[in-house]
Amino acid sequence: VTKVLFIGGAGRSGSTLLDRVIGQLPGYVSVGELRSIWIAALRENRLCGCGEPFMSCPFWRQVGDDAFGGWGAVDPDEMETAVASLSYLRVWRGLVGRSDPPVSPRVADRFERLYAAISSTAGGATIVDSSKGPRYGYVLSSLPEISLRVIHLVRDSRGVVYSWSKEITRPDTPGRSVQMLRMGTVEAAARWVVQNTFTELLGQRAPVTRLRYETLLEDPHRRLQEALADLGEELPEDGLGFLESDAVQLRPNHTVMGNPMRMASGSVVLRTDDAWRRQLKPSQRRIVTALTAPWLWRYGYPLRSAD
Ligand SMILES: [Zn+2]
């Protein structure tokens, strides 16, 4: 059985940073957003977190050999479609009641082989996967050979919506300029609600602990210890030596996808990104607050825009 620590929630919530910090603990390995491995990595050969194109990275070559006898033996489109074609209704039914397995036995077997090979290539480590999407989390929760634990990472909806509105160039597509996906106010707010709600529902299938991005950055040591303890994970006494209260020493990694900061290594400053407080237009802020109010309240965020 392969242990997977899944970071769930809405995109743009700081999951890449959390993924990398936990991935540096003894006994863990960070892979970024593994759901993107089929298209971004296998089809488009984007850069691994180590800086090599995915197909040239020795870590991932080993994983492909162990799992499938080489990446050529898997059809990336089949794997991608298996998750992308799941409707949220189907996922909801699967999470709250009984349902048939969400993917075919063949696809399930491939997923199990992939995760087992990553873990063994990393010396038996627990895999930290920041794929986030609840559909993907649901598929993982259905696999008998995977032991799933979930950190539900929540960030203020107004910060998330602001982040989706920004223009950011991807650093992992050399030779061409690729912008990170952007999204409008209402769409981003609606996605925030759906993804957080479904991540909570994942608690029907696996242990889930909730962690707020803003409080994580206020006291990273303590919040991480609490979250891992809540999931029954032991944190070695000296395991967090690389993490200070305001900076983290990041080592090179083999993440397949995520925020551009996945390519960074060395000392990275830890600071809450609250540019939205100054940059998000008052009209947008009112829309987001109104659309997400019950959830903001539930997660302990102030509704008043002056806060
Ligand atoms: Zn690599």
Question: Would you tell me how many other CB atoms lie within 10 Å of the CB of residue 139?
Answer: 24
* Residue written as token pair 């033996």: 73
Average pLDDT, integer, range 82-104? 90
> Above 70 in pLDDT, residue 124?
yes
Q: Which residues pair with 85 in a beta bridge?
A: none
* Per-residue pLDDT, 306: 53
Is residue 305 pLDDT above 70, yes or no?
no
**pLDDT, mean of residues 158-168:** 87
**Which protein residues have their CB within 5 A of the ion that is ligand 1?**
48, 50, 57, 59, 254
What φ, ψ does residue 250 adopt, rounded to 5°? -100, 135
Instruction: Compute, in angstroms, the gap from residue 51 CA to the centroid of ligand 1.
Output: 7
Q: What is the percent of the chain where pLDDT is above 70?
A: 99
Q: What is the pLDDT of residues 165-180, one digit of tens each?
A: 877 777 777 777 777 7
Q: Give the C-alpha separation, 68 to 172, whole Å.
A: 25
The model's pLDDT over 193-247, given as tens digits with 9 standing for 90+, comes to 999 999 999 999 999 999 999 999 999 989 999 999 999 987 877 788 898 888 9
Task: Enter the pTM of the model.
Answer: 0.93
pLDDT above 60 for 120 = yes
Give the closest residue to 160 by CA, choosing from 142, 183, 127, 129. Answer: 183
CA of 8 to the centre of ligand 1 (A): 23
How far, in Å, is the centroid of ligand 1 from the Cα of 143?
26
H helices present in the chain, as ranges: 15-23, 58-68, 76-84, 88-96, 105-121, 134-141, 157-165, 185-201, 213-218, 220-230, 276-279, 282-298
Instruction: For residue 90, count other CB atoms closer than 10 A to its CB.
Output: 15
Q: How high is the mean pLDDT of the chain? A: 92
* 45 Cα to the center of ligand 1, angstroms: 12
